[in-house]
Structure 1
């Protein structure tokens, strides 16, 4: 494992830096942890249900499991195994299982596996209609046998589940035509029955970076927004947003910033997106471009047509990484990780004025061992930091109000 404060840039794959955690014990054995339990989890993703129940999906021991908590993550129900056998789960730094919970309590999941040693992936999905007690048989989200990775799920107000991912099916056609194929395609689909079935996958954009997570939200009912690392002219891998006209119609590609990161490799370091109730897009991302290096934040008040000047995040001497932004009850909250040479800390800042100004960064959690990426989740009233660490296991920390 690599230290979580360091970022490895490689051509196709990056060493895994997620945690092996334990829910309650302060110390965990260094021995291999191959059980599908939460204490062996490497990635954990939260979502709140409409009744305030916290749902957690994680990957451990080659399997995916789900459990719920009625006490804000202090204890969890008996886990339900989503998978029936050990799988070659996508362990890339930007990969993790995804979960959404609808108003009726239905749970939609998606995650990716590796098909082969060349890191070609397959996105699988399933759904529970009985409160997480059981899940339907796993199915591929698309019939294509080419690589799909870095899926993202979002739930619309009407219960529609929207999914997007990075897909390399069109490289076959390019190869047959003797053309160069760079990156991947941004593909999407939607489900009108809560994630039981999905419509035929469609291409939204060709020429995206092939190995960075997507950010996904809704600008309004029926209008998904995706942020992704695009490949612009000259091999520049800077970020862009796309606002859909509806769940079946992609929109224009809008550039977030001109970072001028020219790299023919995979950063494995994707962006984060949230849309505030008033429609403001808040985005955070990593770059190592000629124009700027490090973590940055910007906002848009015109549906991504223009963005504010990038604001740097974190201390450059502590290698800030893995930003996440969420507009919620506590204002707009941002978190990221920093490494000071001994410990990894999660830094937090809050904006009360829709991204115009931000509070001084504050350490809200830390570990001296490996850890997952910091995530933010809200139950509509309170925003929480969701973080998995090897030493302390799963933590759900309320974001307290600041002056």
Structure 2
């Protein structure tokens, strides 16, 4: 029975996510989508990106999210924008104050899209006209974009892409899921290199986690497909010199599901190079958020079952030996924003505690760190909050 209930829950999540995707770009009244992203710069300015109708919006707060001193529309000429769940606008900060924004733009056919990019070189007052990152312009899936900046200031964009599925289908060859692709810019987003494939047969609708390594590169952690629809995770470093990514399997929960659970992972890398990761699996009918330290090609180390039934969409952050994990926990009374933390580098974790509550839905939580303090960006019912993680 537990297996049946877990599968029913996951199928409902998948169907709901697909329904949201199908409706993206359609009129939604005055209700703002809940998808957002956030980042804190070195001066403590909070940057939030979300969408208003057919416009991507960037806001800056100088008081930790209580008020916003700046609000700029990135694309004055409106266009459809995916802005829910795993597929939402992203923001990243450059080393000289640059602001970079990506989003996925729905096309006419269901579940299709282009990955769009814009930049601001003047502190968010103005943004360049948006451009499509990839050279392939077929009306297929290029969606679920992720964005990062490496230590050299290179901009990296990764996304889910179905061009190889289309090619295989035309040849009547088997192909599960989609592929993951990426591109990069070495000139602050003025131009992008022709896209490169990371790997074939990855999950269709789970977000890609990107994180910077101590030596300044960007690593990717994402749900891939192994064998007959085993939906575990892969790991790769994304070169910006034309080299090929070295992709290795990173989790081994052996969850078999013939569909995408809309439940991507998160990755944070500390100064020693330890790869702290969280991911979701419902193998053996047991929905679980897992924490582990990735050892690509082998089982993760220090595995911890962070949360079980009703838990979803975890994020992880690290500063020194302090590790934070935040997630959504469904309860009989609504939605709890829940936290566990470690002060010894992930060896041991505190018991779960709720740090905020909402009666209605929210965009997925996003952990941000400033001066060794962690906060959770959250927007229950579209009312943005920056929630401290310190116990009161």
Give TM-score, length-normalised by structure 1: 0.86
User: Structure 2: any 5+ residue segments left out of the alignment?
Assistant: 1-8, 22-27
Q: Supply the RMSD in Å over aligned alpha carbons.
A: 2.3
User: Structure 1: any 5+ residue segments left out of the alignment?
Assistant: 1-5, 18-30, 35-39
Superposed displacement of residue 231, structure 1: 0.6
**What is the aligned partner in structure 2 of residue 235 from structure 1?**
229
**What is the aligned partner in structure 1 of residue 387 from structure 2?**
397
Matched, 1:33 2:30: yes
Q: Is the 8 A contact 2:325 2:340 kept in 1?
A: yes
**What is the aligned partner in structure 1 of residue 129 from structure 2?**
137
Give TM-score, length-normalised by structure 2: 0.89
Distance in 1 (alpha carbons) for counterparts of 2:374 and 2:320: 6
Superposed displacement of residue 363, structure 1: 0.7
Superposed displacement of residue 210, structure 1: 1.0
Match of 1:94 among 46, 67, 86: 86
Superposed displacement of residue 395, structure 1: 0.5
Superposed displacement of residue 245, structure 1: 5.5
**Higher mean Cα deviation, 122-131 or 169-178?**
169-178
**What is the aligned partner in structure 2 of residue 311 from structure 1?**
304
Question: How do 1:295-306 and structure 2 match up within 5 A?
Answer: 295-300=289-294, 302=295, 305-306=298-299
Superposed displacement of residue 261, structure 1: 1.8
Q: Is the 8 A contact 1:329 1:382 kept in 2?
A: no
Question: How do 1:216-365 and structure 2 match up within 5 A?
Answer: 216-244=210-238, 248-290=242-284, 292-300=286-294, 302=295, 305-308=298-301, 310-316=303-309, 319-328=310-319, 331-365=322-356
Distance in 1 (alpha carbons) for counterparts of 2:74 and 2:240: 31
**What is the aligned partner in structure 2 of residue 372 from structure 1?**
363
Distance in 2 (alpha carbons) for counterparts of 1:173 and 1:303: 30
- Provide closer, same or farther for how the CA distance between residues 245 and 127 of structure 1 changes in structure 2, counting only shifts above 3 A: closer
Distance in 2 (alpha carbons) for counterparts of 1:67 and 1:388: 14
Distance in 2 (alpha carbons) for counterparts of 1:235 and 1:196: 39
**What is the aligned partner in structure 1 of residue 5 from structure 2?**
none
Superposed displacement of residue 168, structure 1: 1.0
SS in 1 for 2:168: helix
Size of the alignment, in residue pairs?
375
Superposed displacement of residue 197, structure 1: 1.8
Superposed displacement of residue 342, structure 1: 1.7
Pick the structure with more helix per residue: 2
SS in 2 for 1:125: strand
The structure with higher relative contact order (CA 8 Å, sep 6+) is 1
Match of 2:49 among 38, 41, 57: 57
Q: Is the 8 A contact 2:248 2:296 kept in 1?
A: no
Superposed displacement of residue 314, structure 1: 2.2
- Provide closer, same or farther for how the CA distance between residues 343 and 291 of structure 1 changes in structure 2, counting only shifts above 3 A: closer
Per-residue CA distance 1:24-78 (angstroms, 9 max, x = gap): xxxxxxx9425xxxxx352221112233211111112232101111111111024
Match of 2:59 among 36, 53, 67: 67
Match of 1:128 among 110, 113, 120: 120
Per-residue CA distance 1:256-277 (angstroms, 9 max, x = gap): 3322222221211111111111
**Higher mean Cα deviation, 204-213 or 77-86?**
77-86
